[in-house]
């Protein structure tokens, strides 16, 4: 049988070469044109060290402009407050963003409403905005005519002019804002605020990360919660809500742990006994039925502010001897107390604890009291910074502001915010350290990453950003969304994904450690890169170049792949010649790329990239800021590929074979796209909106395929219940370190298909598979694009896409490690054969490589069925959430990663007046509890 199959394959190879030869002729015109101008081109090696420094400098300049804007806002707000005299009876109408352009039943404008012109603006994600005015948002639980609100809004009116001036100086600015300590939020440009389905606005600027980080230095917080018998019913509910609210005020530079006590003391998460947990988004998750804090990263603490939060319904003593021994006289550990419930019998002791440890006491009798009372501790912690007038600028981690905007386009953008505190400069209030609020602006990370254009890094190259904690700001493998029905939603821990989770070949974490420390350097790694949603893998050697972005907590890295990615191809043609070919009907430039900045001047914002390029090159819009290097390469590529139009015109006269269209992405400089009937990126290619300048899968694979060979690829989305399947065929050609990649429909009269179908019978089955083991040709149509393993698996093998589908159906959103088998054929093996044992029978198979392609022919005996092996037990074992070792999980969570602490810390000031410690106002509480809590300060130090 094997000899018979080998003879068939030998004749098949010759037939295939005859079939493919017409496709090769299509290269002739381009190669000839390239030879004509070869003398005016040059190839330069990419200097990764210089490139990463250049990108970092440009990012520093861009972010520097945002910081200057924020500084101007802070200065203006402080000056306005300095000259403003508080008026208890002030009456003042302002534009409330929830009430504007709204009338009552009689058609009258609502109070604090009125006409507020709005116009859709491309720069602000097509939202209706007013670029001439800001307006005010007030949470529903804050009275919008409270004297503090009215005085603050009146005082901050002066910021309108500064908002507009900032936008004129830097038109790449997006949202600018002032968040007041009293609760109102001034936003520019002004918008219509949309409440939730109950007509409620829960957004409170004081709970946002940019506000909290700017208002306080990093914090070590131990939450001590009373769980004695009296804490039940409403009191327990209020206590849980208080814990959640405190946790919401913490960020990735803060550390936390939770201790419960009744007759004895216990850690709510035993795994975190005796340590502090980094308070990133994932770690702050607390269930409603227990106090469990889910944490994945531990640390020694922030080494700055230290506080104990005591949540109780009473305290029978004040523990003065404990505080005298462990916390006085410096009182470095502040104690904040929260008295839960309506009872006030023993409130004096609870207040005494806070007031004698530079903290703050509050009484929380209802759920509605929680938010305002918890926020008070932030103002207390800010006092040393305010008294010293330390205007630290902070940058937040990546986040999606889906709370602020209901517009999906806006809410799914990853962004970072830069913010600065605003202080009272009045002499009479200096020792009280009054924080007026925080000013800030947003920076869309995709705009920042445009400064590291992909065309300079090669088809596999990319740039990425991380924070001082090692978390990803931007990375091609960051996938922060999941689908729930038709909606995209952020994953619970989308902004606390560590670099080690995507650059996982960095097993010793040398790259991560160097970048977190803010170092500049290089590193080389052998990597396995997945493409096509992880279904395929490529082996590459990557060079990493990294450096810090000054004045920020961020570090930038770029990746260049050895081989294709080491060099850049530079050609030069005249503008006149290039423009003529650039306007050919078969040519498209990728609109996702930035050839010209159309966002700076409002008059340019409606231009497509091609329109902007043509206007700039023709001299009609000389003020456009365009990438001259990219345009030069684009014109060159347009000229070199011009012969394709004539060939395609002739080809269209005979439409057989081109029904599905022809695509060519020319890889001299990766600058343009030639097409008939098809688009540059498929819907699958576009799924990850967080990856800029991405390339189609067929092109990425072709770049690593041997020169001169055809690569066949079955797109998964093209064959699910849509009639005939379609196979893509790519041909690669390299010349002096350049790459052409052409995508054709499969060449006419593929005799390979006929051979395989004729071979399949009751005795044998025939498949044509690609180098990753996926079926391209089979007698059974349903097999096409499935993995070979689906047909030949044994009881020790698990077909990978079945697992993937099951996980997807289960909507498992917890972080996990999942292993997917991936296969790649060794090209040096031209032919192999063996025997598969399937229970009581065995089957023979033979595999032979098909020349000049990535294809193999697989022929197996059909009279021994291996496909019905029982894999359900293995599936259940893999997917059962209980099938793991808790001790291993705990040990892994205890593994500590290097992080870089923020440089500034404002935890103490000798002039602080701590007399303001809350209003007038108990559970059995042991002295040993406070000793253990105060010991945390020693641990964190």
CB-CB neighbours of 408 under 10 Å:
12
Report the pLDDT value the prediction gives residue 151, as an integer from 0 to 100: 97
Taking all residues of the chain, what is their mean pLDDT, rounded to a whole number?
Answer: 78
What is the end-to-end Cα distance of the chain in Å, rounded? 75
Q: What angle do CA 760, 762, 763 make, to 5 degrees?
A: 85
In this structure, of 173-182, 225-234, 751-760, the range with the lowest mean pLDDT score is 751-760
Report the pLDDT value the prediction gives residue 297, as an integer from 0 to 100: 33
- Considering only residues 681 and 841, tell me which one the structure prediction assigns the higher pLDDT: 841
Kindly state the tokens that stand for 843: 């089957």
Asked whether the CA dihedral 166, 172, 174, 179 is positive or negative, the reply is negative
The tens digit of pLDDT for each residue in 173-209 reads: 999 999 999 999 999 999 999 888 888 888 999 989 9
Percentage of residues of the chain with pLDDT beyond 90: 36
Q: Are 418 and 441 in contact (CB under 8 A)?
A: yes
- Tell me what the mean pLDDT of segment 305-319 comes to: 86
Report the pLDDT value the prediction gives residue 652, as an integer from 0 to 100: 59
Q: What DSSP assignment string belongs to 455-524?
A: GGT-SS-EEEEE-TTSBEEE-TT---EEEETTEEEE-TTTT--BGGGTSTT-TT-HHHHHHHTT--EEEE
Report the pLDDT value the prediction gives residue 896, as an integer from 0 to 100: 67
- Considering only residues 278 and 394, tell me which one the structure prediction assigns the higher pLDDT: 394
Q: How would residue 51 be classed by pLDDT, with cut points 50, 70 and 90?
A: very high
Q: How would residue 15 be classed by pLDDT, with cut points 50, 70 and 90?
A: very low
The tens digit of pLDDT for each residue in 448-498 reads: 998 998 888 888 899 999 999 999 999 988 888 877 787 777 887 788 889
CATH class of this structure's domain 51-213+392-444: alpha beta
Cα–Cα separations (whole angstroms), residue 714 to 107, 590, 855? 61, 23, 12
pLDDT at position 747 over 90: no
In this structure, of 74-83, 277-286, 397-406, 820-829, the range with the lowest mean pLDDT score is 277-286
- Tell me what the mean pLDDT of segment 119-146 comes to: 91
In this structure, of 48-62, 102-116, 126-140, 636-650, the range with the lowest mean pLDDT score is 636-650
Report the pLDDT value the prediction gives residue 72, as an integer from 0 to 100: 98
| The model's pTM | 0.83
The tens digit of pLDDT for each residue in 832-878 reads: 888 877 777 888 888 888 887 888 888 888 777 766 544 333 334 33
Kindly state the tokens that stand for 840: 């009581």
- Considering only residues 862 and 811, tell me which one the structure prediction assigns the higher pLDDT: 862
CATH 3.30.450.20 range(s) for the chain read: 51-213+392-444, 452-565
Kindly state the tokens that stand for 270: 């035993």
- Tell me what the mean pLDDT of segment 368-388 comes to: 92
Kindly state the tokens that stand for 839: 């229970």
CATH 3.40.50.410 fits 218-377, yes or no: yes
The tens digit of pLDDT for each residue in 540-564 reads: 999 999 999 999 999 999 999 987 7
CA distance 683 to 793: 32
- Tell me what the mean pLDDT of segment 122-132 comes to: 88
Q: How would residue 116 be classed by pLDDT, with cut points 50, 70 and 90?
A: very high
In this structure, of 30-34, 133-137, 391-395, the range with the lowest mean pLDDT score is 30-34
pLDDT at position 442 over 70: yes
- Tell me what the mean pLDDT of segment 355-380 comes to: 93
Beta bridge partners of residue 123, listed in sequence order: none
pLDDT at position 299 over 70: no
In this structure, of 283-297, 333-347, 507-521, 740-754, the range with the lowest mean pLDDT score is 283-297
Q: How would residue 682 be classed by pLDDT, with cut points 50, 70 and 90?
A: low
CA distance 43 to 45: 7
In this structure, of 200-209, 244-253, 431-440, 927-936, the range with the lowest mean pLDDT score is 927-936
In this structure, of 38-52, 426-440, 443-457, 662-676, the range with the lowest mean pLDDT score is 662-676
Q: How would residue 672 be classed by pLDDT, with cut points 50, 70 and 90?
A: low
- Considering only residues 181 and 757, tell me which one the structure prediction assigns the higher pLDDT: 181
CATH 3.40.50.410 range(s) for the chain read: 218-377
The tens digit of pLDDT for each residue in 587-619 reads: 878 767 789 988 778 788 888 889 999 999 999
pLDDT at position 786 over 70: no
pLDDT at position 656 over 70: no
536: left (phi over 0), alpha (psi -120 to 50) or beta: beta
pLDDT at position 817 over 50: yes
527: left (phi over 0), alpha (psi -120 to 50) or beta: beta
Nearest to 307 by CA among 248, 372, 250: 250
Report the pLDDT value the prediction gives residue 895, as an integer from 0 to 100: 61
CA distance 372 to 183: 9
The tens digit of pLDDT for each residue in 65-79 reads: 999 999 999 999 999
786: left (phi over 0), alpha (psi -120 to 50) or beta: beta
Q: What fold characterizes domain 452-565?
A: Beta-Lactamase (3.30.450)
Q: How would residue 521 be classed by pLDDT, with cut points 50, 70 and 90?
A: very high
């Amino acid at each position: 049988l094997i000899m018979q199959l080998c003879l068939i394959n030998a004749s098949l190879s010759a037939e295939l070469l005859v079939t493919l030869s017409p496709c090769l002729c299509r290269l002739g015109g381009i190669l000839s044109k390239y030879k004509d101008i070869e003398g005016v081109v040059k190839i330069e090696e990419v200097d990764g060290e210089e490139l990463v420094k250049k990108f970092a400098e440009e990012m520093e300049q861009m972010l520097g402009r945002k910081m200057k804007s924020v500084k101007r806002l802070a200065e203006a707000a402080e000056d306005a407050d300095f000259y403003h005299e508080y008026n208890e009876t002030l009456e003042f109408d302002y534009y409330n963003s929830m009430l504007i352009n709204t009338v009552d039943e009689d058609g009258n404008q609502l109070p604090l409403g009125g006409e507020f012109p709005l116009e859709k603006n491309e720069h602000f994600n097509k939202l209706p905005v007013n670029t001439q005015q800001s307006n005010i948002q007030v949470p529903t639980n804050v009275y919008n005519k409270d004297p503090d609100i009215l005085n603050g809004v009146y005082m901050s009116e002066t910021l309108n002019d500064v908002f507009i001036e900032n936008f004129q100086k830097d038109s790449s600015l997006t949202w600018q804002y002032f968040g007041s300590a009293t609760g109102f939020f001034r936003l520019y440009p002004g918008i219509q605020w949309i409440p939730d389905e109950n007509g409620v606005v829960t957004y409170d600027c004081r709970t946002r990360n940019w506000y909290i980080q700017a208002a306080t230095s990093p914090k070590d917080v131990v939450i001590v919660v009373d769980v004695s018998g009296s804490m039940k019913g409403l009191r327990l509910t209020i206590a849980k809500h208080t814990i959640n609210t405190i946790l919401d005020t913490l960020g990735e530079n803060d550390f936390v742990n939770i201790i419960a006590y009744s007759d004895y003391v216990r850690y709510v998460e035993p795994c975190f006994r005796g340590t502090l947990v980094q308070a990133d988004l994932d770690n702050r998750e607390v269930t409603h039925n227990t106090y469990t804090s889910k944490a994945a990263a531990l640390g020694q603490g922030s080494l700055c502010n230290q506080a104990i939060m005591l949540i109780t319904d009473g305290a029978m003593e004040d523990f003065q001897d404990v505080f005298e021994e462990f916390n006085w006289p410096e009182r470095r550990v502040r104690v904040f107390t929260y008295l839960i419930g309506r009872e006030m019998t023993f409130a004096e002791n609870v207040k005494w604890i806070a007031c004698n440890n530079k903290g703050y006491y509050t009484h929380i009798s209802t759920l509605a009291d929680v938010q305002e009372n918890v926020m008070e501790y932030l103002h207390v912690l800010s006092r040393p910074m305010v008294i010293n007038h330390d205007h630290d600028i902070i940058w937040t981690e990546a986040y999606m502001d889906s709370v602020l905007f209901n517009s999906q386009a806006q809410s799914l953008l990853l962004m970072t915010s830069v913010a600065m505190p605003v202080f009272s400069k009045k002499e009479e209030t200096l020792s009280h350290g009054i924080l007026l609020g925080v000013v800030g602006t947003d920076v869309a990370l995709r705009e920042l990453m445009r400064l590291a254009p992909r065309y300079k890094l090669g088809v596999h190259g990319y740039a990425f950003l991380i924070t001082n904690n090692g978390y990803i700001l931007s990375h091609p493998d960051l996938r922060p969304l999941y689908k729930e029905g038709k909606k995209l939603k952020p994953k619970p821990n989308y902004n606390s994904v560590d670099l080690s989770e995507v650059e996982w070949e960095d097993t010793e974490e040398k790259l991560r450690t160097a970048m977190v420390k803010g170092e500049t350097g290089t590193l080389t790694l052998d990597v396995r890169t997945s493409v096509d949603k992880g279904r395929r893998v490529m082996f590459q050697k990557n060079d990493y170049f990294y450096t810090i972005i000054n004045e920020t907590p961020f570090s930038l890295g770029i990746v260049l792949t050895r081989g294709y990615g080491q060099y850049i191809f530079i050609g030069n043609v005249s503008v006149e010649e290039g423009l003529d070919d650039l306007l050919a009907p078969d040519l498209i430039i990728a609109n996702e790329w930035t050839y010209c900045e159309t966002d700076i001047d409002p008059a340019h914002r409606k231009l497509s990239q091609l329109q902007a390029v043509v206007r700039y090159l023709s001299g009609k819009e000389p003020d456009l800021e365009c990438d001259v290097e990219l345009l030069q390469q684009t014109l060159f590529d347009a000229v070199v590929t011009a012969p394709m139009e004539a060939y395609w015109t002739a080809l269209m006269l005979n439409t057989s074979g081109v029904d599905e269209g022809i695509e060519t992405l020319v890889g001299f400089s990766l600058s343009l796209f030639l097409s008939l009937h098809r688009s540059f990126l498929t819907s699958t290619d576009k799924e990850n909106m967080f990856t800029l300048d991405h390339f189609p899968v067929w092109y990425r694979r072709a770049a690593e395929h041997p020169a001169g060979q055809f690569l066949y690829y079955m797109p998964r989305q093209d064959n699910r219940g849509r009639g005939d399947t379609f196979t893509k065929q790519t041909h690669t050609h390299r010349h002096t370190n350049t790459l052409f990649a052409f995508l054709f429909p499969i060449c006419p009269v593929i005799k390979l298909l006929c051979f395989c179908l004729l071979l399949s019978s009751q005795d044998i089955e025939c498949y044509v598979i690609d180098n990753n083991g996926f079926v391209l040709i089979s007698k059974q149509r349903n097999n096409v694009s499935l993995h070979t393993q689906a047909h030949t698996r044994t009881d020790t093998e698990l077909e990978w896409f079945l697992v993937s589908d099951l996980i997807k159906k289960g909507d498992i959103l917890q972080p996990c490690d999942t292993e997917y088998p991936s296969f790649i054929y060794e090209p040096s093996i031209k032919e192999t054969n063996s025997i598969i044992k399937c229970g009581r029978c065995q089957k023979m198979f033979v595999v032979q490589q098909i020349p000049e392609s990535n294809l193999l022919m697989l022929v197996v005996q059909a009279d021994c069925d291996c496909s019905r092996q029982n894999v359900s037990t293995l599936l259940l074992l893999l997917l059962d959430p209980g099938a793991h070792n808790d001790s291993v999980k705990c040990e892994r969570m205890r593994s500590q990663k290097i992080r870089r602490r923020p440089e500034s810390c404002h935890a103490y000031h000798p002039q602080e007046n701590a007399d303001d410690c809350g209003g007038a106002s108990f559970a059995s509480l042991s002295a040993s509890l406070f000793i253990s809590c105060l010991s945390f300060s020693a641990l964190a130090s």
